[in-house]
Amino acid sequence: MDIFIDLKVEKENVDIIREMLPYTSEHIKNIVQIEEDDIIKIYCDEQYKANVEESIGKLNELISDKFFKDKKISTTRIEDWTDKSVVNSEDIFTKLQRTSEIYDTADGTFAYSGLPLKIFEYFISKIDEYAKEVFADYSIKRHKVPALYSVDGYQKGGYFETFPHHIMFETTSVNNLENIEKFSKASNFSEANIGIKKPQNILRTASCAPIYKYLENTIIFEDTKDVYIVTGTCFRNESDNIRSLSRLNEFTMKEYVFVGSENFIEDSLNKATKLWEYWVKVFSLNSKIETATDSFFASKYQKLKLFQALGKSKVEFKCLIPAEDSYISCSSKNYHRTHFSSKYNIHYRDDSTLAQSACFAFGIDRLMYAFLSQKGTEIEKWDRGTISEITKYVDLD
């Protein structure tokens, strides 16, 4: 029999608790937020109630660390364009599913055709072309990175310490004839009962990860001005948080990656940020730029969030999804400081000073989704400036 557990949550923690609850127990069936009372209802089988309550208790401990309870972790709005009107408020996700221009191939994984694909291709092309313009005096280095990354390599980068809940693993069946025969003869996978190897690889959660391995044991010279443009398919376990293109298990990420001095990093990030401002101007996007913190699922959760907020090391470009009445992060700048250089022995000028690093990430699926959510799918209703910009890169006919 299904029962529910009422969880009273402090207002500032509602969003993060709601996001992280699906990861806490496999026995949670459904999660419903009662916004006016700051209550979250968690549904589960009665027999698993104690297990679920214990898991929820552990999550609360991570988020309510007494050492940090008096330290306010808040966001700062840097730019505000939330007063801009939007042409469309219709649910374009459902509409494009009906026309089969968006269709799913697995949970949280979608294929695109028609208009969504054209807008997707626009953002891919624009990010490349913008780099040629704004980083004209840099050496532009393009990398197409694979989805697979070794478990050991990801652990070295510190991802298991901070985002273990997002990691998806790759594995194969055990190589023996009996196992293969069982698999080939089974009428469905659940009945096959085959042996699976312990995973040696993960499916990357971010495109930039291979760059630090690429630069391992190197010295970045003072006159070096490199921008790495990295494109890759990324994977994150979004569990039950998937409802539209706002959150996906598989998505395309394009990044500018910078490694060098602090001044070089800050100057490069400032140049990249101008692309956000350009899109707001030309598309009149209802959006905002805010400092942000990640959903760390680790024992040092509060410490990581506090350091990220105080250091303003993560800033997000958030766009309105009118049909969802919410803003999603479509792009972010992430200042790593010496996090990766210390792990991969990357130095600046000489072997006594660690290099700084940063990435400027673009979620292509989200950019496409936010654009169409605000503009709609009827091109004849778009303004002339929007059509002119898009048709520089893709054919809308």
Residue 243's pLDDT is what? 82
Task: Name the residue with tokens 């956000």.
Answer: 276
Rounded Cα gap, residues 52 and 167, in angstroms: 22
Is residue 202 a contact partner of residue 168, using CB atoms and an 8 Å limit? yes
Higher pLDDT, 298 or 347: 347
pLDDT at residue 69 above 60? no
What number does CATH give the domain 77-167+205-391?
Answer: 3.30.930.10
Residue 86's pLDDT is what? 97
pLDDT at residue 141 above 70? yes
Angle at CA of residue 296, ends 294 and 299, nearest 5°? 155
Q: Locate 8 and state its tokens.
A: 């009273």
Q: Tens digit of pLDDT for each residue in 158-201? A: 877 767 878 999 998 888 888 878 778 777 777 677 788 999 99
For domain 2-64, give the fold: Alpha-Beta Plaits (3.30.70)
Is residue 280 a contact partner of residue 81, using CB atoms and an 8 Å limit? yes
pLDDT at residue 70 above 50? no
pLDDT at residue 246 above 80? yes
Q: Locate 286 and state its tokens.
A: 């209802």
Average pLDDT of the segment spanning 71-78: 67
pLDDT at residue 280 above 60? yes
Q: What is the pTM of this model?
A: 0.81
Residue 23's pLDDT is what? 60
Residue 303's pLDDT is what? 41
Rounded Cα gap, residues 110 and 103, in angstroms: 5
Residue 287's pLDDT is what? 98
Residue 217's pLDDT is what? 97
Q: Tens digit of pLDDT for each residue in 282-300? A: 999 999 999 876 544 444 4
Residue 5's pLDDT is what? 82
Average pLDDT of the segment spanning 331-338: 92
Q: What percent of the chain has pLDDT over 70?
A: 87
pLDDT at residue 257 above 50? yes
Domain ranges of the chain: 2-64, 77-167+205-391, 169-202
Q: What percent of the chain has pLDDT over 90?
A: 60
Higher pLDDT, 69 or 146: 146
β-bridge partners, 55:
none
> What angle, rounded to 10 degrees, do the helices at 262-283 and 364-375 form?
30
Higher pLDDT, 5 or 325: 325
pLDDT at residue 240 above 90? no
Average pLDDT of the segment spanning 315-329: 96
